[in-house]
Amino acid sequence: MARILITSAIPYINGIKHLGNLVGSQLPADLFARYHRARGDEVMFICATDEHGTPAELAAAKAGKPIAEFCAEMHGVQADIADQFGLSFDHFGRSSSPQNRALTQHFAGRLADAGLIEEVNEKQVYSNADGRFLPDRYIEGTCPNCGYDKARGDQCENCTKQLDPTDLIDPRSAISGSSDLEVRETKHLYLRQSKLKDELDTWINSKSDWPILTTSIAKKWLHDGDGLQDRGITRDLDWGVPVKRGNADWPGMEGKVFYVWFDAPIEYIAATKEWADAKGLDDEAWQRWWRTDKGAEDVRYLQFMGKDNVPFHTLSFPATILGSGEPWKLVDYIKSFNYLNYDGGQFSTSQGRGIFMDQALDILPADYWRWWLLSHAPENSDSEFTWENFQTSVNKDLADVLGNFVSRVTKFCRSKFGEVVPEGGTYGPAETALIDTLTQGLKTYQDCMDRMEVRKASTALRAIWVAGNEYLQAAAPWAVFKEDPDTAAAQIRLSLNLIRFYAVLSAPFIPTASAKMLSAINTLDMEWPTDVAAALEALPAGHEFAVPDVLFAKISDEDRETWQARFSGVRD
């Protein structure tokens, strides 16, 4: 039994996430957490809400609520939606937790003791109207390169040129719109990542099995231009982890907080401690997942994230871990994803363009979305959600292939043999050939899952479903029954066992439908098959079952057109 630690990039607290966010981290992480549990591995699957930073403050202000109250409420909302999508976290924590506060301050103290934190006097834009320093992204103006009038102080999204706030023409606050800005001097702490460049480079080069997307982004940040830069880890904000050096105050840093990208990845560790604390377990219960001197040397640690998060997880967070000088577990494999676009454009949280997780669940059950998103995961390039493709995939894969098989087999058996697995007959050459096909199909499926190739795994699973359909169509028990009811009984007995086989293999992708299939055939047996022939005899003759309701309803053209129109505009 392996020990598998899985973390998903933690979603920001400022609103409900869209489907592009879901498929870029949490959903594929859940797929592999479920798969490894099914294979008998010990799994710890951790996620949390990312609750600090300016966007959280602004979202709370817009909602007219104190920020602590807003974050607590939104954590509950995100946790509930995640549960409805079947995301099987062992713990869904909060970066504002006392555990994360203590660990973040601990790491800062260790890094300072190692000479890896530097105090820097820098100039930042201050908005008199807002009464606060403005992060670069909250300063807007005209791009000096292309003339785009809504360029941000960190980058122009029109021409992608990297900018400083002082580069902008006619700069203004993105919060209030005020142009009453001035440059003030302030002191901040910087993590001296550049001192760890060689160590990080050696570590990244040792990961020969990482996806090209992950390593290419990491190496670009390491080597392009001036190479890996030191990074500010504090901000002039009210909400966040107060700057301390371990348990001690940090002179000159009063009233400042750690930057959200410093404390957010540490929450992976802290959330595991939250899990242990909630269960009344001792420190060893969580440390065995994270400290190599407490047993974590045997853990395989997998991270899942969108490509925009890769630099922080390949460089900044590892720099924190390595720089601490303590035996913390480093990630073994980072599965990164490109972007999922929406119907000819981009998903946009700010513009409400696309489908958000709560809206998706209002339309259709989670498994419809899980299947489409995972089978179209943007692994090697950006992919695009279109309503036509979604309709086709649901109707052909889920309704016509899997759902139709379950319906045909159970209904025919009920009509000819009753609601029990029929006895009589023996398996012949067609059944032997099917078992051979499924044995190879199972190996292909497992190989894809072991390599964390999401789309290939979905293709392999669908091929297993198709093999059963092709067998059923060729065997034609409805015709055979007229002349040879014993042979028809053997064919249906195998087909009913196939339903259980499908339920077990499909559970990582479509857990609710899997549970419905198992319920219908009256078994809780979820043992992963190692011998296909044995698996297809798991339900003996005489075993009772029930004909289930329709597993997957087809999407009509009318529904598709209605939804396409509904989600083309701005979210209410």
Q: Binding-site residues, please? A: 143, 146, 156, 159, 349
Measured CA angle at 152 (ends 148, 153), to 5 deg: 125
- When computed from its CA atoms, the radius of gyration of the chain, rounded to whole angstroms, is 27
From the list 99, 110, 105, the residue with the least C-alpha distance to 244 is 105
Question: Cα separation of 416 and 418, whole Å?
Answer: 6
Extract the tokens encoding 490: 């053997």
Concatenated DSSP letters of 216-234: HHHHHHHHSTT-SPPEE-E
- Say if strands 139-142 and 169-173 run parallel, antiparallel, or are unpaired: antiparallel
Q: Binding-site residues for Zn(2+), please? A: 143, 146, 156, 159
- Please list, residue by residue across 274-290, b when 16 or more beta carbons sit within 10 angstroms of its beta carbon and e when fewer do: bbbbeeeeeeebbbbbb
Reduce the DSSP state of residue 419 to 3 states and report it: coil
Instruction: Provide the 10 A C-beta neighbour count for residue 154.
Output: 15
- Please list, residue by residue across 519-535, b when 16 or more beta carbons sit within 10 angstroms of its beta carbon and e when fewer do: ebbebeeeeebeebeeb
Contact by Cβ (8 Å): 29, 82: no
Extract the tokens encoding 82: 């995640």
* Amino acid at site 144: P
Q: Binding-site residues for ATP, please? A: 349
Determine phi and psi for 191, rounding to 5 degrees: -80, 125
